[in-house]
Structure 1
């Protein structure tokens, strides 16, 4: 059979399919750099000044987050698998519940985050929308980097009895990106708008349920979800502290 000339784009597509984790890291890095380039200069200055003024506390939060997500290297895979299968298989699973959980889990998706960022911008919260989108892009990059470094397989690869809802998720399992994003949004929105206790409880309950859905649909272990919740919450707190002082001066 004669060799088919696939061209430059064809070779690029083949490379991306074979090296998806690296491709995602490169793509997210490029996206973050482009976003920073087009970010208003006063916003870049505000973030830099905020980072300098809170560098010790920011470093502590990042170290804490990395220590928390390092739980994946400890013993306990059997317990993790047992807890996952309890969430994934226990009890009745009617079609309406499957569809509801599959829809609810999208709250932690990138499309939902971009939509919320756009709504914030269109409603006049320009500075906060920049903060929200910048934090989202940076969080995605951190999550993909951790997935690449930890290299933990999805539950449905190791556990044959796993019940998957919808399409099987690509990439690695640890940490849960959807859960990270849900807790990041809950933390950032609650602090920025100084919401009441009941609204804050609703936001975090929603984020918690997103984590539950990730196990229900067969995409993540419990420790993936726990790590995502810690990382997302810490990232939201870090975003508020880094940009808080600069945002006040700009506003």
Structure 2
């Protein structure tokens, strides 16, 4: 009996330590990503990134024809497909299906978590674009249509928010650390590809994309931190 009590006690202590570690990690990610975004935004406002931004975009274009991105035509088409993974249309459909699934299995708190992350992130992205009002790159022709300001990259930011939020949600459904890492790495990789696609298509400066990733990570980490704090509070 005493041995069993010690065993359960160790399990409980391990769970508490794991939750504390997750809270600390979420808090650190929130603070560090916000700091990086502020630093990038400051550099952009001062136009300290402009020269490097333009050089990178120009390096991705054919020297004799700046309207044509480097590489064969199928690469350009593939990049457009990758860019769509961060579009409002695709992300809205994706989030909608996930919300419907969570409601069907009666995971209402998880549904609110996902909806809050996606809707709040979209509003934050819209507000940041209007606040900074940075024009889109005009040194090369755009390989896709654009309708908003440039900073931060909405595709990069929203893809980071949605995919990282869902990745964090999936880590709660599995116990193996290898699977947890797989979900989070996959989420980051998709967002990474989306961001690179926006630079390749000439619709964003690299600093826009970097800022989008930081802002997306900030919002996803903040929502995760709030959700974990609420979960711990409800158990106490």
TM-score normalised to structure 1 length = 0.67
Corresponding residue SS for 1:171: coil
Corresponding residue SS for 1:200: helix
Report whether the alignment pairs 1:80 with 2:85. Answer: no
Are the equivalent residues in 2 in contact too, given 1:88–1:163 (CA < 8 A)?
Answer: no
Which entry has the higher C-alpha Rg, 1 or 2?
A: 2
Q: Supply the RMSD in Å over aligned alpha carbons.
A: 2.7
Tell me what 2:117 maps to.
135
- Distance of aligned partners of 1:126 and 1:100 in 2 relative to their CA distance in 1, 3 Å threshold: farther
Work out the CA distance in 2 between the residues paired with 1:88 and 1:141: 33
Tell me what 2:83 maps to.
105
Shift in Å, 1:62: 7.8
Work out the CA distance in 2 between the residues paired with 1:200 and 1:163: 34
Work out the CA distance in 2 between the residues paired with 1:130 and 1:112: 20
Are the equivalent residues in 2 in contact too, given 1:117–1:129 (CA < 8 A)?
Answer: no
Tell me what 1:233 maps to.
217
For structure 1, the residue ranges without an aligned partner over 5 or more in a row are 1-52
Work out the CA distance in 2 between the residues paired with 1:94 and 1:66: 34
Shift in Å, 1:198: 3.0
Tell me what 2:134 maps to.
152
Tell me what 2:94 maps to.
116
Q: Superposition pairs for residues 1-251 of structure 1, below 5 Å?
A: 60=31, 63-64=34-35, 66-70=37-41, 71-74=43-46, 75-89=48-62, 92-124=70-102, 125-156=107-138, 159=139, 162-167=140-145, 169-194=146-171, 195-247=179-231, 249=234
Q: Deviations over 1:16-64 (max 9, x none)?
A: xxxxxxxxxxxxxxxxxxxxxxxxxxxxxxxxxxxxx99xx59846852
Work out the CA distance in 2 between the residues paired with 1:92 and 1:64: 34
Count of aligned residue pairs for this structure pair: 191
Are the equivalent residues in 2 in contact too, given 1:186–1:204 (CA < 8 A)?
Answer: yes
- Distance of aligned partners of 1:207 and 1:173 in 2 relative to their CA distance in 1, 3 Å threshold: same
For structure 2, the residue ranges without an aligned partner over 5 or more in a row are 1-22, 64-68, 172-178
Shift in Å, 1:247: 4.5
Work out the CA distance in 2 between the residues paired with 1:201 and 1:146: 27
- Distance of aligned partners of 1:96 and 1:234 in 2 relative to their CA distance in 1, 3 Å threshold: same
TM-score normalised to structure 2 length = 0.71
Work out the CA distance in 2 between the residues paired with 1:185 and 1:83: 27
Work out the CA distance in 2 between the residues paired with 1:131 and 1:230: 20
Shift in Å, 1:105: 0.6
Displaced runs of 4 or more, over 3 A: 57-63, 87-93, 247-250
Work out the CA distance in 2 between the residues paired with 1:62 and 1:92: 32
